[in-house]
Amino acid sequence: MTEKKANVTNTQKLKTVILSVFLAVIVWFMVIYVNDPDITTTVSDLNVRFVGEMSLRDKKLAVTGKDKIPELSVVVTGKRSDLMNFMDDIYVQVDVSDIDSTGEYNLSGVISIPTTRISVEKEKYGDIPITVEPLEMKDIEVTVKQTGMLKDKIVKSSVNNPTVTITGAKSEIDEVAGAIATVDVSSIQEDGVENVNYLLTDTNGELINKNETIESARSYVEVVNTIYDAKLLPVVPRLSAELDKEYILKADKSFATPASVTVGVDETNTDDKVIALIDKVPSDGFGEYELELSSGMYIPEDNKKVKYKLDIVKKAVAQLELTVQAQNVQSGLTAKINNKLIAQVWGEEGKITTDNVKAYVDVSGLGAGTYNLPVKIEGENVSFAENYTIEVTVE
């Protein structure tokens, strides 16, 4: 019984509180709207709205310096309720449509009041300073920045038609170096195309957070996303065709940083390594080199280059008189080579000797007869300066 009485008492208290709040609201509305006095107040930090900016753009001009306009204020009188309702709609209007050339201007403004029930008592501002600059156009490239990741996958994101044209005041256009479209790859489940908004970047690659005049015909770009399997492959150096004519690369004594890179591959790619193309000889042995892209492979931008500590020496050439050996002679047969080979041999200077260089021919599958066969060379970092053949008799 006692518990029941306590519940009744609590319910009555709650009703009393609700009723009190309701009555207080009614009283407040009566004070504000029934007894609605005239008041005078100062509206500070007025917005400035420009009229005629489109007319300026037609003249290849644009207004800048809006953020440097000093604080404007106005003293107004009106009903309390009107001031509460329309305070944010009071602003200063400035007409720039008559301007025909670049330069610094001080313009007068007009106070815009949204209702005749509010009157202006005093305007607390003078002329409004602005700058008019030439309007310019610029083509910039939009690049993709990825966030997130997919387990055991690499996503290639590329932009269709990456060039966009922007228009704006010269000072702002000069600051723009490019743009970035950011793609979150963690939610991508299949290959496809998406529209991505881009942000402008400056010459330091930083985002431009403020601009007054820049416009573009399109605010987004098409980004093509392609999913690859991630694969960790070792890096192997290879001399370019030009360097290979003059230098010897000792691959086993050259070291890459990193030694392996993660690339994207599709089902057609079976590579077990990635080639670093050595196209220049560094003065101190250290250099940075690009990785070669093979069919069915995608290399992310951050993985496209490796640093190498190279062991590379100048090629020398020497003439050797070589005894040519026959290899893979069929059982029951012999191979005779009557003459020695006089050959020009490329190799490391001081190491092109008959002790380090061996020559041979392969007679696999050949029966009795006389053959003119290509000579092959064996040895560390050696090669023939030209192709040689020699007569071999199998009997």
Q: Identify which of 222, 225, 226 has the alpha carbon closest to the alpha carbon of residue 161.
A: 222
CB count in 10 Å sphere of residue 238: 16
CB-side exposure of 268: number of CA atoms within 13 Å?
A: 5
Residue 226: phi and psi, rounded to 5, are -125, 130
Distance CA 273, CA 232 (A): 9
Contact present, 306 and 260 (Cβ < 8 Å): no
Predicted pLDDT of residue 1: 46
What is the H or E stretch that residue 210 is in? none
Helices (H) and strands (E) in the chain, counts: 5, 31
CB-side exposure of 220: number of CA atoms within 13 Å?
A: 9
Q: What is the DSSP string of 298-323?
A: E--GGGSEEEEE--EEEEEEEEEEEP
How far, rounded to the nearest angstrom, does the alpha carbon of residue 264 sit from its chain's CA centroid?
Answer: 18
Contact present, 138 and 200 (Cβ < 8 Å): no
Q: What is the DSSP string of 254-284?
A: -EEESSEEEEEE-TT---S-EEEEE-S--TT
Cα 244 to Cα 313, 314, 346, distances in angstroms: 11, 10, 11
> Could you tell me where the DSSP H helices lie in the chain?
2-29, 53-58, 80-86, 170-175, 241-244
- Amino acid at site 99: I
| Full pLDDT tens readout for the chain, 395 residues | 445 445 556 667 666 767 777 777 666 666 555 567 888 888 888 889 999 999 999 999 999 988 888 888 889 888 888 888 888 899 999 999 999 999 999 998 888 898 888 888 887 777 889 999 999 999 999 999 999 989 999 999 999 999 999 999 999 999 999 999 999 999 899 999 999 999 999 999 999 988 889 999 899 999 999 999 999 999 999 999 999 888 988 888 899 999 999 999 999 999 999 999 999 998 888 999 999 999 999 999 889 999 999 998 888 999 999 999 999 999 999 999 988 999 999 888 888 999 889 999 999 999 999 999 999 999 888 889 899 999 999 99
Helix (H, G, I), strand (E, B) or coil at 67: helix
Long-range pairs, 372-378, Cβ under 8 A, ≥24: 375/324, 375/341, 375/343, 377/345
Predicted pLDDT of residue 28: 63
Distance CA 247, CA 313 (A): 6
Contact present, 298 and 228 (Cβ < 8 Å): yes
Predicted pLDDT of residue 323: 93
Q: Identify which of 365, 369, 359 has the alpha carbon closest to the alpha carbon of residue 336.
A: 369
What token pair was written down for 351?
A: 């190491």
Contact present, 370 and 392 (Cβ < 8 Å): yes
Contact present, 299 and 154 (Cβ < 8 Å): no
